[in-house]
Structures are given as structure tokens and as C-alpha cells.
């Protein structure tokens, strides 16, 4: 999301980007990859995740549809965020946000 927002701003600001279309994708992922990242970084959620032996969650047979984001990198200078960092950091931020809301509510109630 942040990469796409940055691409919009750069496309408006850079004269070289005028009248061009840009595909903004940092890469490809599947549900299995997300579950594995959560399993590796948040062991407290192991019981809520499907077991590693559960089938599914992989790319479709024949592979994923591919897009070429070269223009967004070359023209706009976008440096896409790493998938693992995006999932883990977003999860931690969400957790911190929830904790701060709970603390605020506790403070108001005392």
C-alpha cells in the first residue's frame, strides 16, 4: 500500500512519468507464505494456524500470473518493501496499536 501511494506521488511529480502507465507490485506471495511468516515470528499464534501438514495455500497449478514492474523501478525509482518485513512490521504495529488502545481504556476507567 505504501509503495503504491509513493508511486502515485512520484508519477504526478516527475515529468518523465507523464502519460505512462505503471504496474506496482513488489512480487508474489501466497497464503502458505503468510502462514509460515506468522508461524516463524509469532509463536504465540501456532495453535490458531493450520498445521504444516495441511495442503493448500500454495500458488495455483501452472504458477501465478506475472507482471513486469520494471518501469516503476526505472522511471519512478520505487524500491519495493520486502514481503517478510511488510507482514511482520504490519503485524507488530497492529499489536502495538491494540495494546495502546487497551491501556488508554484502562486509564480512562480508573
Query: What is the residue extent of each domain of the chain?
Result: 2-81
Grid coordinates given for 96: 502495538
Grid coordinates given for 36: 509460515
Does the pTM exceed 0.75? Answer: no
Tens digit of pLDDT for each residue in 40-65?
888 888 888 888 887 877 777 877 77
In the predicted structure, residue 25 carries a pLDDT above the cut 70: yes
> Between the CA of residue 44 and those of 6, 33, 38, 48, 99, what are the distances in Å?
34, 18, 9, 9, 16
CA distance linking residue 47 with residue 66, whole number of Å? 34
Amino acid at each position: 500500500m505504501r509503495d503504491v501511494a509513493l508511486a502515485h506521488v512520484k508519477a504526478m511529480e516527475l515529468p518523465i512519468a507523464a502519460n505512462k502507465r505503471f504496474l506496482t507490485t513488489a512480487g508474489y506471495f501466497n497464503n502458505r507464505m503468510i502462514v509460515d511468516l506468522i508461524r516463524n515470528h509469532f509463536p504465540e499464534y501456532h495453535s490458531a494456524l493450520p498445521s504444516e501438514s495441511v495442503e493448500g495455500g500454495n500458488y495455483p497449478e501452472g504458477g501465478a500470473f506475472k507482471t513486469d514492474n520494471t518501469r516503476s523501478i526505472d522511471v519512478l525509482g520505487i524500491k519495493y518493501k520486502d514481503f517478510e518485513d511488510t507482514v511482520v512490521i504490519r503485524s507488530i504495529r497492529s499489536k502495538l496499536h491494540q495494546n495502546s488502545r487497551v491501556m488508554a481504556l484502562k486509564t480512562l476507567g480508573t
